[in-house]
Every structure is written in C-alpha cells, then in structure tokens.
Amino acid sequence: MDIVLLGSGNVATHLGDALVQAGHRIKQVYSRTAAHAQALANRLDAAVTADLTAVDAQADVYILAVKDDALAAIAAQLRGKQGVIVHTAGSVDMAVLAKYATDYGVLYPVQTFSKAKAVDFSTIPMAVEASGTTAWERLEILAGSLSGYVFYCDSQQRLSLHAAAVFACNFTNHLYAIAADILHEHGLDFDLIRPLILETAQKVMAHQPKEVQTGPAVRNDVRTMEKHLELLADDPALAHLYRLISGRIG
Amino acid sequence: MDIVLLGSGNVATHLGDALVQAGHRIKQVYSRTAAHAQALANRLDAAVTADLTAVDAQADVYILAVKDDALAAIAAQLRGKQGVIVHTAGSVDMAVLAKYATDYGVLYPVQTFSKAKAVDFSTIPMAVEASGTTAWERLEILAGSLSGYVFYCDSQQRLSLHAAAVFACNFTNHLYAIAADILHEHGLDFDLIRPLILETAQKVMAHQPKEVQTGPAVRNDVRTMEKHLELLADDPALAHLYRLISGRIG
C-alpha cells in the first residue's frame, strides 16, 4: 500500500521500518520538526514535509503516530483525503477521527518501542478498530502484513489493554529501577538480578502469573518481610510500597 | 564432591539436579517428609533419610535448602560433622550456623525456582559467603562448578540482594497478575501482553531501567493517566497503587 506516515517518534520509526520491510511504500513522512521528518524520510526512502497543508493526497492509508494531544488537530488538516486515516494510540477513542474522515480506524501495536532496541513486528499483537467495512478490510490487510496476530479491539477494550500494559511494562520497569537502586546502595551490580528478571518474564510466557507467584508475601513469611522492611526503613515511601504490594499478594 | 542435601523443595530439587549434572555425588537426601525425600533421592540417585540423627557423617558439604525458620534446628543436629555446612537463604545471616559448625557458609543462587520450569544454572549468579579460608575454598569450587558467575557477598549485602529480587521478581509477577486481571475483566487474553512483558525484561538486559522508562507517567501525560484511573475507579486500592507508582516515576 501507499502510506503517509505522520510523526517521527519511536512508534513512527519502528512502524515505518516494519511497513517498508513488509513491502509497503511510505510515500511521505510528516513531522512538525523538519529535521526529524527528514531523518525518518531518508531512512524510509520517502518524501518529506513539515507542512500539514502539503501532505500527499493520494495515499491508501494515513498513519498518525503522534502525541495523543496532537491527534485531533492533525486529523483536522487531513479532511478530504481519500485514504483511511488511522491513529496508533492506546488510550484515545477512535471517535477522535470521526469528524475529519469517512474511513478511519486504529492500529495499535501492543509493544513498547525505544530508540535503543529493534523489535520483531511479526510477533506483536495488533489491535485493530475500524469505522466500517472499507476501513476494516484495508487495516486488516495492513496489520496482517506486519504481524501474525491481528485482532479486533474496540476503544474501551483498547484503553483497558493500555492500562494493563502500563502495569506489565512501565510499572514493571520502575520495579526494576527500584531493585537497581537497592543494589547500588549496597555496592552490588544490577547484573546480579538480570537473569532473575528474564526468568520471571519467561515464566509467564507459558503460565498465568498467579500460578507462579513466589516470594515471602505469598508464603506469608513475616520474618523475611520484616527484615526487608528494616532494610528499607530509611525510605518510608519505598517501605510503604513494599507493604502495599506484599499485602495484595498475601 | 560428596554432598548431603537437606530439603526437598524447589531450591533443593533444582540445586540437586545441577550438582549431579556438574559431576558431584549427592550421597544422601534428608527431608522431614519421607515421601518427598524419597522422590528427590530417586531422582538424584542418592541415599535417603527422614531422620536427622541418621545423616551421613562423611560428606564434604552439607547443603541446607530448607525453610528459613528450620535452619537453626537442623544445623544444631549436624554438630560434629566434618564437612562445610551451608545454607541457601537470601535473608538469613550466615551467623545462624556459627554455633553448630567450624566451617560454614552460604551459597545463594540469585534466581527464582519453580517446579514448572527447568533453569540453566550456568548463568545464575551465585552469592557465596564463608566462615574462613577452608569453607571459602570449598564453596568457591562448588559454586564455580555450577555457574560462571560466582561472587563474594556478605550477609547484609545478601539481604539487600534478596529485597531487590523481591521487587524485580515477586512484585513484578504481581504486576503481571494485575494486568491479567484487567484484561480478563474486559474480555481480552493475557496472550496479548506476553510479547510486551518479554520485551520489557529483555530491554534491561543491556540497559539500566531508568534509561528505558516509558509510559504516561514519565511523559507526565496527565490525560492518559486520568483515563486509566477512571477505568480503575471500581477498584480504589488498585487506583491508589497506580497513582503511587506513577508518582514515583513522574
């Protein structure tokens, strides 16, 4: 398909790479920041613009991979385009596009993207929502060309999926950061728990988390929890978090 | 080395398997529960006892992989044995063994063990502490035969390592469970975030967690956080946890 990609952040970059790899043509990249637009356009062998009024009118799909707050304003500028207009946001209702397009939808890849690391799109679940048959058929083909795991997901479900992802990814990463701080404070390297972190994730690839819960809280091992709380005593907020999560588990 | 293994839980089982694989001989397995002791002894081709007074007196190392609370009582029964007495607990001071042995120490594998899943010991960091040169030399060799990553760790450091592991493993698994609950409540499968969970863990294999923090909290994306809190409104305790962790990240 011929695609216009709006945005130049992590999602736009990773998605752009995957689309090119899947054989699609990125006709044009738009970004408010001309330098970012140019860098991504070069990477994707695409034309480029930093001017919304100059966006190509002949694409099959317009993908808005921009900040949530910018979606409505950018969609407004795409009024009258023939292609399907989609956004990629986890927490924004599809209806944000309704005023500005006939055929529209959402293409939400359930993954975390960072500049630091390439990702394999073929295993990323793709949540698709569409305004009608035309948009659905095009988006299903597009998503299916990227990933083996495409599913229908309405806006409310997508919001819940995004909230779940915050717990399983963003908050989890913060727990890793807490662990790194504790280790650092006692002269120990974060390397020491890297195998444990990987094993903990790998374990739930084949099991439900509740089935494989381990640790002092689930054993109601009060003495060990007290020792940990004593260790954390100089950081009452952290000790509170320890108590709170232990209480939920136990 | 000739080893007596005391305990028959997850740590004893995985450690026993790894020791046999590394070419050591498990002379005897002890467990309070005769059936458990027998099952593990069969697996390790070892003799067996459920009677502490019948523990073999001729081993190089006695490994106590039992509940923390049982350590002192079992060590007391090993008084007079010639070998090195070690425990495998994260949060118990080495001193618990001092009254009962001349040469003693700790061998703490920094990993989570469950019946459900085999683990590769060669990549598990092994925290070693020893009462003196004799114990250190023997434990260093023993730990080095299991893993490529052996390091000295005193009892206070080991406690901090164990607390860090609780955040990075046990609490992380609970966040996975919360995510699974949210998905289930909205008719979505836990499968949808399994790739995200794995990617989140893999990302910190090569980076420090703080460098790769993503999500609405670190972007101070208040609107998205409010949408999530609205979604969680029927579970105030969970909404509180969401606010608490977001506040720490942001």
Interface touch B201/A203, C-beta < 8 Å = no
The pLDDT score that the predictor gives to residue B59 is: 97
**CA distance linking residue B171 with residue A73, whole number of Å:** 40
Domain end residue (candidates: B104, B122, B153): B153
**B112 and B211 inside one domain:** no
Number of domains in chain B: 2
Domain of residue A245: give its range. Answer: 159-249
**A45 and A82 inside one domain:** yes
pTM assigned to the model: 0.94
Q: For residue B43, give the CATH number of its domain.
A: 3.40.50.720
The pLDDT score that the predictor gives to residue B187 is: 96
ipTM of this complex: 0.94
**CA distance linking residue A229 with residue B14, whole number of Å:** 29
Q: For residue B221, give the CATH number of its domain.
A: 1.10.1040.20
Six-digit token pair at A137? 């058929």
**A170 and A237 inside one domain:** yes
Residues 39-68 of B with CB under 8 A from A: 68
What is residue A24's DSSP assignment?
-
The pLDDT score that the predictor gives to residue B113 is: 87
DSSP string, A176-208: HHHHHHHHHHTT--GGGGHHHHHHHHHHHHHS-
**A143 and A164 inside one domain:** no
**CA distance linking residue A28 with residue A40, whole number of Å:** 10
Residue indicated by tokens 């945005």? A7
**A139 and A164 inside one domain:** no
Interface touch B193/A161, C-beta < 8 Å = yes
Six-digit token pair at A68? 């949530």
pLDDT in tens, chain A (250 residues): 999 999 999 999 999 999 999 999 999 999 999 898 999 999 999 999 999 999 999 999 999 999 999 999 999 999 999 899 999 999 999 999 999 999 999 999 999 988 778 889 999 999 999 999 999 999 999 999 999 999 999 999 999 999 999 999 999 999 999 999 999 999 999 999 999 999 999 999 999 999 999 999 999 999 999 999 999 999 999 999 999 999 999 8
**B36 and B83 inside one domain:** yes
**B24 and B142 inside one domain:** yes
Domain end residue (candidates: A153, A179, A204): A153
Interface touch A112/B221, C-beta < 8 Å = no
**CA distance linking residue B195 with residue A198, whole number of Å:** 13
**A80 and A164 inside one domain:** no
Distance in Å, alpha carbon of A177 to nearest chain B alpha carbon: 5
**B130 and B173 inside one domain:** no
Cβ of B115 under 8 Å from any chain A Cβ? no
**CA distance linking residue B156 with residue B161, whole number of Å:** 9
Q: What is the CA radius of gyration of chain B?
A: 22
Contact, A198 vs A230, CB < 8 A? no
**B145 and B191 inside one domain:** no
Interface touch A224/B124, C-beta < 8 Å = no
Distance in Å, alpha carbon of A186 to nearest chain B alpha carbon: 6
Residues of chain B under the 70 pLDDT cut: none
Cβ of A161 under 8 Å from any chain B Cβ? yes
Domain end residue (candidates: B153, B173, B207): B153
Name residues whose C-beta falls within 8 Å of residue A236's C-beta, 6 or more positions apart in sequence: none
Q: Which residue of B has its CA nearest to A231?
A: B160
Interface touch B176/A68, C-beta < 8 Å = no
Contact, A196 vs B170, CB < 8 A? no
**B145 and B182 inside one domain:** no
**A56 and A122 inside one domain:** yes
